[in-house]
Amino acid sequence: MKLFSFLKHLSKEDLEFYSQLKHHAVRVTGVITMLVRQLGEPDADKVVSEFLVDLGRRHFSYGSRPNQMELLGHAFVESFMYVFERDPRRLAIQESWNTFFTYIVFWMRSGFDFVQHKGIQ
**Binding residues for ligand HEM, per CB under 6 A?**
23-24, 27-28, 31, 55, 58-59, 62, 64, 68-69, 72-73, 104-105
Dist CA 96 CA 77 (whole Å)? 10
Name, in order, each residue with C-beta under 8 angstroms of 35's C-beta and a sequence gap of 6 or more: 48, 51, 100, 104
Q: Judged by CB, which is closer to ligand HEM: 68, or 99? A: 68
Question: How far apart are CB 62 and ligand HEM at their closest, in Å?
Answer: 4
Dist CA 6 CA 85 (whole Å)? 30
Q: Judged by CB, which is closer to ligand HEM: 5, or 61? A: 61
Q: Judged by CB, which is closer to ligand HEM: 7, or 36? A: 36
Amino acid at 104: I
